[in-house]
C-alpha cells in the first residue's frame, strides 16, 4: 500500500489539483536520546513509499559506514543529514521532511533528544499541530527527565494532540505488560499537564510494527497504526478563526494609486467590506480589497499572506496591527510570561533585552522571576535566574505597549522571542499568560488557605427546600454586550418569579463591583475574578434552594465554563442576549462605547477587548426585536422545560 492517490498514474492534472486541496499537518518527534525518533521518521517515509530510489540506494551504502543496526538498512540516515549526526548517531539540529499521502500533506520536524539541544526542540515544536513523544520500551526507570521536559514543552506550547509512541517493542518481546506499565507511568506524570488529546501506541520503528501497517506481533493492541492516526486526527478546530490579527510587515506603495498593508494573518478571518482598526492609533476604516499573489480575494484566513487596502488613508507601518473593530487585543507593556531559556548565559532579572512579537520589537526587562518549574515533578520553586533549558514564569516590563493576547487563546499574538541586545542572539522564547502582572488576578485554581477547613453540612435537605419553594435551584447567567439589556431582563425576571411565589435572588455585575468586588478593575483577569466571586455566591444561593439570576457581561467562554463548574453544570443555564453591537451603541446612555473607541476606556468587550459569542447557550433572546415581557416568557418556559419550575 503506497498511501498515494491512483490519479498520479492516470491523470496528473487531477492529481495536482487534488494535492493542492489536501490538508496540511505539521508534527514533530521528540523524546529522550536514542529513543528512535529519526528511525521512526525514516521508516515512516520508506514504508509509505515517500522515499526516492536514489535516496534508498545512498542510505544502503551509508548504512555500512555510519549505520547503527549492524550493517542493515538504517532508516535514521534519511533525516540525520549532518556529518556530525551520522558520525555520532545522534540528532543535533531540527531536520524537516515533507511527504504526502492520498489524504494529507505532512511536514515532519525531527527534533534532538539531548538536553543540550532542547532549544532546538522548542523551535521545531513551535509551529506543530501534533507531537509524537517516543519512549524506549526497555527503560526500567519510568519516564526519563528529557522525555518529561519535552512533554512539558509541548503542553506549554499548546500542542493539543499528542501520540506517545512506546518504541523498540521488538526488544522486549512485544510485551503488553511493559507497554501498560510505561503508559501508567506517563499518565501519572502527565496528569498535571493540560494535554487535551493523548493516544498511546506500541511500535517498533526499525521493524515497522504499527508504523504504517498493524503489527501481527502485537495482536493484543486494538488501536490503529501510526499512519492511520496521522491521516485522521482532526485539527480543523485548532486554529483561532475568531480573532482577526494582521501584524503589518510592510507598507506596499508601488505607485500613487495603491497603498497596501502586507503581512501574514496571525489568526482569524477577514472579508472585503469589514470594518477594521489599526493599533495602536485606533483609527478605523473598511477593507477595500484583499490582494494576494494569485489575485484578489473576497475573504482571507489564517495563515495566508495578504495585502489589505483600506477605504481611508490611515497611517500604519511595520509593527502596527490591523484587527477587526469589536474584537481588539489588549495593549500591554507589563505582563507575565512562561519563558524557555535557550542561552548558555543565564537569564538576569533587570537586564535589558529585546522582545520580538510578530513584526514589532521593543526593549524591556524581566522585572522578576516568579518561579522556576521542576520538569520532573512540575512543581514550582523559587530561583534567582533561569539557566540553559530551564523554564519559569517571569514578570516582563516593556518600554512600549504591545497588542497581545494570552498565548492559550492566540498563539500568534501571545508568543515572542527574547533577543540579547549586544550579540543579537535569540536567548529565550516566551508565552504570554492571561493574567496581568502585578495586578489583581483570579483565584480559580487556588487551594483553600488551610486543609482543616470543612463545609458546614445543612440540616435541611434539597428535597425539603424544593417542596417548600416549589422549585429546583438553578443559576441563570445572562450574558451579552454592554447595553444589550441584561439588567432590565434580570429585574423583570425577578419580578415575574416573585409574583409566581418563587424564591429568587439577583446577582448583578455592577452591584458586585460596588461591594464584594470593589477592588477589581476591568482587565480580562479582573472580569474573570469578578465572575468567580459571583459564581461562589450563586452556588450558595443554589445550595439553599434559590433561583439565582446573574447579570454579567462575562465575555470569556472559558470563564463562563468555569463558572458553570463552580455552580454545578446540572443547575446552570446560560442565556445569551444576542443584540448587535451597533444596537448596543444606540441604546447605551453613558457614552461608554465612544470612550472605548477613543481609548479612554481600556479592555471594553466588543470594542477594545474580545467577546466570545456562546456557541451552545441554553437560550438565545433578542430584546431589541421582541418586547421584554416576551423575553421573560421565554426564560420562564426554559425553566419549566428543564424541570426547575413545576
The pLDDT score that the predictor gives to residue 282 is 86
Write out the residue limits of the CATH 3.40.50.300 domain(s) in the chain: 7-232, 462-641
612 vs 380, higher pLDDT: 612
CATH superfamily of 462-641: P-loop containing nucleotide triphosphate hydrolases (3.40.50.300)
Is residue 69 predicted with pLDDT exceeding 90? no
Can you list the positions of beta strands (E) in 272-390?
A: 275-279, 283-292, 295-297, 299-301, 305-310, 321-324, 330-341, 352-357, 360-373, 380-381
CA distances from 178 to 167, 181, 349 (A): 11, 5, 45
In whole angstroms, give the CA distance from residue 579 to residue 76. 58
Q: What pTM value is reported for the model? A: 0.63
> Out of 3.40.50.920, 3.30.870.10, 3.40.50.300, 2.40.30.10, which CATH number does the structure's domain 330-432 have?
2.40.30.10
Q: Could you read off the pLDDT of 183-193 as tens digits, one per residue?
A: 988 888 877 67
- The strand pair at 547-551 and 504-508 is best described as parallel
Look at the domain 7-232 and name its fold: Rossmann fold (3.40.50)
Is residue 237 predicted with pLDDT exceeding 80? no
pLDDT-derived band at 88, boundaries 50, 70, 90: very low
Q: Could you read off the pLDDT of 155-182 as tens digits, one per residue?
A: 888 888 899 999 889 889 999 999 999 8
In whole angstroms, give the CA distance from residue 547 to residue 529. 22
First vs last C-alpha separation in the chain:
62
Mean pLDDT, rounded, for 364-380? 84
In whole angstroms, give the CA distance from residue 110 to residue 121. 8
Q: Are 530 and 539 spatial neighbours (Cβ–Cβ below 8 Å)?
A: no
Is residue 284 predicted with pLDDT exceeding 60? yes
Q: Which residue has the cell 535589558?
A: 352
Q: Which residue has the cell 522548542?
A: 122
pLDDT-derived band at 72, boundaries 50, 70, 90: low
6 vs 598, higher pLDDT: 598
In whole angstroms, give the CA distance from residue 524 to residue 77. 50
Mean pLDDT, rounded, for 239-243? 84
The pLDDT score that the predictor gives to residue 66 is 55
Mean pLDDT, rounded, for 404-422? 90
Which residues make beta-bridge pairs with 252? 260
List, in order, residues 6 or more apart from 57 with CB less than 8 Å away.
none
Is residue 82 predicted with pLDDT exceeding 60? no
Q: Are 69 and 88 spatial neighbours (Cβ–Cβ below 8 Å)?
A: no
Question: DSSP secondary-structure letter at 605?
Answer: B
Q: Could you read off the pLDDT of 196-210 as tens digits, one per residue?
A: 688 999 998 888 889
The pLDDT score that the predictor gives to residue 552 is 95
Write out the residue limits of the CATH 2.40.30.10 domain(s) in the chain: 245-324, 330-432
Is residue 293 predicted with pLDDT exceeding 80? yes
List, in order, residues 6 or more apart from 441 with CB less than 8 Å away.
435, 525, 529
- For residue 547, give the 3-state DSSP assignment: strand
Low-confidence winner among 192-201, 256-265, 274-283 (lowest mean pLDDT): 192-201
Is residue 483 predicted with pLDDT exceeding 90? yes
Q: Are 444 and 564 spatial neighbours (Cβ–Cβ below 8 Å)?
A: no
Look at the domain 245-324 and name its fold: Elongation Factor Tu (Ef-tu); domain 3 (2.40.30)
Q: For 420-459, b where at least 16 C-beta lie within 10 A, e where not — what string? A: beeeeebbbbbbbbbbbbeebbbebeeeeeeeeeeeeeee
Question: DSSP secondary-structure letter at 132?
Answer: E
Mean pLDDT, rounded, for 408-423? 90
Q: Could you read off the pLDDT of 302-334 as tens digits, one per residue?
A: 889 999 999 998 889 999 999 988 788 888 888
- For residue 359, give the 3-state DSSP assignment: coil
- For residue 411, give the 3-state DSSP assignment: coil
Q: Could you read off the pLDDT of 589-601 as tens digits, one per residue?
A: 888 888 888 777 8
442 vs 352, higher pLDDT: 352
Mean pLDDT (the chain, rounded)? 84
Burial class (CB in 10 A: 0-12, 13-18, 19+), 92: middle
Amino acid at each position: 500500500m503506497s498511501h498515494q492517490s491512483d490519479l498520479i498514474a492516470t491523470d496528473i492534472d487531477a492529481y495536482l489539483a487534488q494535492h493542492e486541496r489536501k490538508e496540511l499537518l505539521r508534527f514533530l518527534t521528540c523524546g529522550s536520546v536514542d529513543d528512535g525518533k529519526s528511525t521512526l521518521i525514516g521508516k515512516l517515509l520508506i514504508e509509505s513509499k515517500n522515499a526516492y530510489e536514489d535516496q534508498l540506494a545512498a542510505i544502503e551504502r551509508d548504512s555500512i559506514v555510519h549505520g547503527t543496526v549492524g550493517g542493515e538498512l538504517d532508516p535514521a540516515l534519511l533525516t540525520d543529514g549532518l556529518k556530525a549526526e551520522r558520525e555520532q548517531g545522534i540528532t543535533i539540529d531540527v531536520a524537516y521532511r515533507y511527504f504526502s499521502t492520498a489524504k494529507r500533506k505532512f511536514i515532519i520536524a525531527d527534533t534532538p533528544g539531548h538536553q543540550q539541544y532542547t532549544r532546538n526542540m522548542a523551535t521545531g515544536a513551535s509551529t506543530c499541530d501534533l507531537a509524537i513523544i517516543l519512549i524506549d520500551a526497555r527503560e526500567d526507570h519510568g519516564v526519563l527527565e528529557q522525555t518529561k521536559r519535552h512533554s512539558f514543552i509541548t503542553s506549554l506550547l499548546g500542542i493539543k494532540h499528542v501520540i506517545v509512541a512506546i518504541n523498540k517493542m521488538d526488544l522486549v518481546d512485544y510485551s503488553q505488560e511493559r507497554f501498560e506499565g510505561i503508559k501508567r507511568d506517563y499518565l501519572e506524570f502527565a496528569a498535571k499537564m493540560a494535554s487535551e488529546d493523548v493516544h498511546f501506541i506500541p511500535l517498533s520503528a526499525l521493524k515497522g510494527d504499527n508504523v504504517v501497517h498493524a503489527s501481527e506481533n502485537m495482536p493484543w493492541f486494538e488501536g490503529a497504526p501510526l499512519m492511520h492516526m496521522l491521516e485522521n486526527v482532526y485539527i480543523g478546530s485548532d486554529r483561532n478563526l475568531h480573532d482577526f490579527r494582521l501584524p503589518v510587515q510592510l507598507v506596499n506603495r508601488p505607485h500613487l494609486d495603491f497603498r497596501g498593508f502586507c503581512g501574514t494573518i496571525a489568526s482569524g478571518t477577514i472579508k472585503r467590506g469589514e470594518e477594521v482598526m489599526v493599533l495602536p492609533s485606533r483609527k478605523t476604516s473598511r477593507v477595500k480589497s484583499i490582494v494576494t499573489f494569485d489575485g484578489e480575494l473576497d475573504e482571507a484566513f489564517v495563515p495566508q499572506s495578504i495585502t489589505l487596502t483600506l477605504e481611508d488613508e490611515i497611517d500604519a507601518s511595520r509593527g502596527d496591527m490591523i484587527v477587526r473593530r469589536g474584537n481588539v487585543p489588549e495593549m500591554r507593556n507589563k505582563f507575565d510570561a512562561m519563558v524557555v531559556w535557550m542561552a548558555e548565559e543565564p537569564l538576569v532579572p533587570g537586564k535589558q533585552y529585546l522582545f520580538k512579537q510578530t513584526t514589532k520589537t521593543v526593549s524591556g526587562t524581566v522585572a522578576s522571576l516568579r518561579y522556576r518549574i521542576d520538569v520532573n515533578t512540575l512543581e514550582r520553586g523559587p530561583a534567582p535566574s533561569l539557566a540553559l533549558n530551564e523554564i519559569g514564569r517571569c514578570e516582563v516590563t516593556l518600554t512600549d505597549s504591545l497588542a497581545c493576547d494570552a498565548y492559550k487563546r492566540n498563539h500568534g499574538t501571545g508568543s515572542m522571542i527574547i533577543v540579547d541586545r549586544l550579540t543579537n542572539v535569540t536567548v529565550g522564547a516566551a508565552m504570554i499568560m492571561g493574567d496581568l502582572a502585578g495586578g489583581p488576578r483570579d483565584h480559580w485554581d487556588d487551594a483553600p488557605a488551610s486543609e482543616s477547613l470543612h463545609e458546614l453540612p445543612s440540616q435541611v435537605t434539597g428535597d425539603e427546600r424544593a417542596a417548600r419553594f416549589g422549585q429546583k435551584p438553578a443559576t441563570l447567567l445572562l450574558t451579552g454586550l454592554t447595553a444589550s439589556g441584561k439588567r432590565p431582563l434580570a429585574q423583570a425576571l425577578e419580578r415575574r418569579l416573585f409574583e409566581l411565589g418563587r424564591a429568587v435572588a439577583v446577582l448583578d455585575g455592577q452591584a458586585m463591583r460596588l461591594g464584594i468586588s470593589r477592588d477589581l478593575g476591568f482587565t480580562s483577569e479582573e472580569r474573570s475574578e469578578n465572575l468567580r466571586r459571583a459564581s461562589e455566591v450563586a452556588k450558595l444561593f443554589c445550595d439553599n434552594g434559590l433561583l439565582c439570576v446573574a447579570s454579567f457581561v462575562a465575555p470569556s467562554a472559558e470563564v463562563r465554563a468555569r463558572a458553570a463548574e463552580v455552580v454545578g453544570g446540572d443547575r446552570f443555564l446560560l442565556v445569551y442576549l444576542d443584540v448587535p453591537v451597533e444596537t448596543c451603541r444606540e441604546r447605551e446612555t453613558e457614552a461608554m462605547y465612544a470612550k472605548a473607541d477613543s481609548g479612554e476606556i481600556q479592555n471594553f468587550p466588543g470594542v477594545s477587548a474580545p467577546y466570545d459569542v456562546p456557541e451552545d447557550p441554553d437560550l438565545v433572546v433578542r430584546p431589541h426585536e421582541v418586547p421584554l415581557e416576551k423575553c421573560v416568557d421565554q426564560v420562564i418556559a426554559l425553566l419549566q422545560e428543564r424541570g426547575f419550575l413545576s
